[in-house]
């Protein structure tokens, strides 16, 4: 039996687009002599559909897509993911399902058992777990069909009470097929591969694992679909951050080889992922920064493409964050679709303007210089009756930032641009940003990267020659909202701060553990307090492209009004 993997990029709720893409892949599979085509989880509607699943019309269109697809299954079988009705009155109304289509009919449905409800996942909100488990018999083979999380219940501390493969193994399957929508983070490819390896080793079966790719608002799916034979050897690995296809022969996958050299080094259960995460320094190596670069490019490109946007704008300060966002935007959207505003104030240094101009010249994108001195002075004059003789403070600093935010949003509104936000995770963590000022934007590009990672990304962007001027990378970071200001006036040095933040946010370590790791007690207390006290700011922030195991946004849900470490 020949199995065709179709690793594709879907658009949530775009049924015509998704269905046509699926049907076209079936045609290519048929032309290559495939017997079965494997698609990814919820391919019909796109993942994650979230509360769209509560709309009857949305589910109706999913079923209409299944009807269209099954008309193209003469002499070729298709396994495709989509929501399915639960006929029982008890429980949720839907299953997360895989439809087995053949000769114009739905021959079988497989329902997902293990429903992740952590981080960005919320499947218990919508789906009922499977009630029964059966292999699918097809062309003399017995197929154990699983959906994403169904293979993740491994390790010493399993998250779920049961595993579908524990039932299916007694039915003597020949292969494990997995339809997946496993999102990217900068450790996920290692963890995902280890899960597949461990599952193959545990059950002594080959596995064909089809993941999706593409960005869905803040979540990036990186593909990297996998094929392992019965000996635990990797036979195929599809492209990362790109659509891809592969044809594999199941008979070959089932051939046993004497003494295969396979190293099953590691595996994690779903709730263990993150407990043994690598250090932040390791994550800044070139391999991980290269992956982050690809994820951000895909995140920008898909956000604009799927939303029907074309052109972007951003504020260029001559600093590292805006420089990296600008370079990424030009690569993702094309130089003709990126416009930047340079908005110097009386506190801006001459080299900041020069550096920002040089960057735009290097990238060959349009830029305009719009000084904010007059706008700022009018604000101050208007507020003078209220402010009186009170000394210059954070209020006046923030007026500068909000003046810039107003100008950027005016340009975006006037010309139909989308404002790209340039805040990084270190700033968002500690509240070092101005609501309705530098925190304005339609999409956050760097909001899941700590400052030290932004620097590493800048160096990666310059790997083949200087794009970002060297002075932007080497000078001390500053908001330039008062004379001689530096970020270090308000925050600990980033190389220390980022490590504390990483321990607290990604690893969920408490103050005792972080202090025990060798960090100063006062610094830890101050840092964690800043993180928790600024939850209200992050609650008003734009979507953040997720590249870590714990990003701000839908995957990190904390109360605003709370006292813990505050």
Which tokens belong to 194?
Answer: 């280890």
Phi, psi of 193 (to 5 degrees): -65, -40
Binding-site residue numbers are 118, 182, 315-322, 398, 422, 427, 537
Binding-site residue numbers for L-glutamine are 118, 182
3-state SS assignment for residue 45 = coil
> Catalytic annotation on 21?
no
Strand partners for 97? 82, 111
Catalytic choice (123, 128, 141, 148): 148
Binding-site residue numbers for deamido-NAD(+) are 398, 427, 537
Contact call for residues 222 and 237 (beta carbons, < 8 A): no
**CA-to-CA distance for 525 and 534, rounded, in angstroms?**
14
> Catalytic annotation on 45?
no
Residue whose C-alpha is closest to residue 284's, from 495, 491, 439, 126: 495
Which tokens belong to 43?
Answer: 């391919």
Residue whose C-alpha is closest to residue 295's, from 225, 192, 368, 224: 224
**17 to 8, 96, 435: CA distances (angstroms):** 12, 21, 38
Catalytic choice (2, 21, 41, 331): 41
Residue whose C-alpha is closest to residue 51's, from 124, 128, 126: 126
**DSSP labels, 241-301:** SS-EEEEEEHHHHT---SS----------GGGTTTTPPPHHHHTSHHHHHHHHHHHHHHHH
Instruction: Give 197's contacts (C-beta < 8 A, 6+ positions apart).
Output: 228, 232, 262, 264, 267
> Catalytic annotation on 148?
yes
Contact call for residues 171 and 142 (beta carbons, < 8 A): yes
**548 to 45, 48, 214, 311, 450: CA distances (angstroms):** 25, 18, 16, 27, 10
3-state SS assignment for residue 366 = strand
Map tokens 């399915």 to a residue. Answer: 84
Which tokens belong to 411?
Answer: 């340009």
Catalytic choice (112, 141, 311, 550): 112
Dihedral Cα 273, 279, 283, 285, nearest 10 deg: -150
**343 to 314, 346, 371, 410, 421: CA distances (angstroms):** 11, 10, 5, 13, 15
**CA-to-CA distance for 5 and 78, rounded, in angstroms?**
10
Taking the CA of residue 7 as centre, how many other CA atoms within 13 Å lie in the half-sphere pointing to its CB? 28
| Catalytic residue numbers, as ranges | 41, 112, 148
């Amino acid at each position: 039996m020949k199995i065709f993997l179709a690793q594709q990029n879907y658009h949530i709720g775009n049924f015509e687009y998704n269905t046509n893409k699926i049907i076209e892949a079936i045609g290519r599979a048929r032309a290559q002599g495939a017997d079965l085509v494997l698609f990814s989880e919820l391919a019909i509607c796109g993942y994650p559909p979230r509360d769209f699943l509560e709309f009857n019309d949305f589910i109706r269109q999913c079923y209409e897509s299944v009807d269209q697809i099954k008309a193209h299954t003469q002499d070729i079988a298709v396994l495709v993911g989509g929501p399915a009705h639960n006929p029982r009155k008890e429980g949720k109304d839907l299953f997360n399902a895989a439809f087995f289509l053949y000769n114009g009919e739905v021959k079988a449905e497989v329902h997902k058992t293990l429903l992740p409800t952590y981080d960005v996942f919320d499947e218990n909100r919508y789906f009922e777990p499977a009630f029964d488990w059966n292999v699918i018999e097809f062309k003399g083979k017995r197929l154990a069909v699983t959906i994403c999380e169904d293979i993740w219940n491994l390790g010493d501390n399993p998250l779920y009470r049961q595993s579908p493969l524990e039932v299916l193994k007694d039915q003597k399957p020949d292969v494990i097929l997995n339809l997946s929508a496993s999102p990217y983070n900068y450790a996920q490819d290692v963890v995902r591969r280890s899960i597949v390896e461990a599952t193959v080793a545990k059950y002594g079966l080959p596995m064909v694992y089809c993941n999706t790719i593409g960005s869905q608002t803040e979540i990036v799916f990186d593909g990297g679909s996998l094929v392992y034979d019965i000996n635990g050897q990797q036979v195929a690995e599809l492209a990362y951050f790109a659509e891809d296809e592969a044809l594999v022969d199941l008979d070959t996958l089932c051939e046993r080889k004497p003494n295969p050299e396979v190293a099953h080094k590691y595996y994690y259960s779903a709730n263990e992922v993150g407990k043994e995460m690598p250090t932040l320094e390791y994550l800044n190596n070139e391999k991980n920064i290269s992956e982050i670069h690809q994820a951000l490019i895909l995140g920008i490109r898909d956000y604009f493409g799927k939303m029907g946007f074309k052109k972007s704008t951003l504020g260029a300060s001559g600093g590292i964050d805006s420089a990296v966002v600008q370079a990424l935007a030009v690569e993702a959207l094309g130089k003709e679709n990126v416009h930047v505003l340079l908005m110097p104030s009386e506190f801006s240094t001459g080299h900041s303007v020069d550096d920002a101009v040089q960057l735009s010249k290097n990238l060959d994108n349009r830029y305009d210089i719009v000084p904010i001195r007059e706008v700022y002075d009018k604000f101050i004059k208007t507020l003078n009756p209220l402010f009186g003789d009170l000394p210059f403070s954070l209020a006046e600093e923030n007026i500068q930032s909000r003046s810039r935010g107003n100008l950027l949003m005016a340009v975006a509104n006037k010309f139909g641009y989308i404002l790209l936000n340039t805040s990084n995770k270190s700033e968002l963590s500690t509240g070092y940003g101005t609501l309705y000022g530098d925190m304005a934007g339609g999409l956050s590009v760097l909001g899941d990267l700590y400052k030290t990672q932004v620097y590493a990304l800048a160096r990666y962007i310059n790997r083949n020659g200087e794009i970002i001027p060297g002075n932007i990378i080497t000078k001390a970071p500053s908001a330039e909202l008062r004379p001689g200001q530096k970020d270090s006036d308000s925050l600990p040095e980033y190389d220390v701060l980022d490590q504390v933040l990483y321990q607290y946010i990604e690893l969920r370590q408490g103050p005792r553990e972080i202090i025990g790791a060798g960090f100063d007690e006062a610094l830890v207390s101050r840092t964690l307090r800043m993180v928790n006290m600024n939850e209200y700011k992050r609650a008003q922030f734009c979507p953040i492209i997720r590249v870590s195991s714990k990003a701000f946004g839908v995957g990190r849900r904390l109360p605003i009004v709370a006292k813990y470490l505050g």
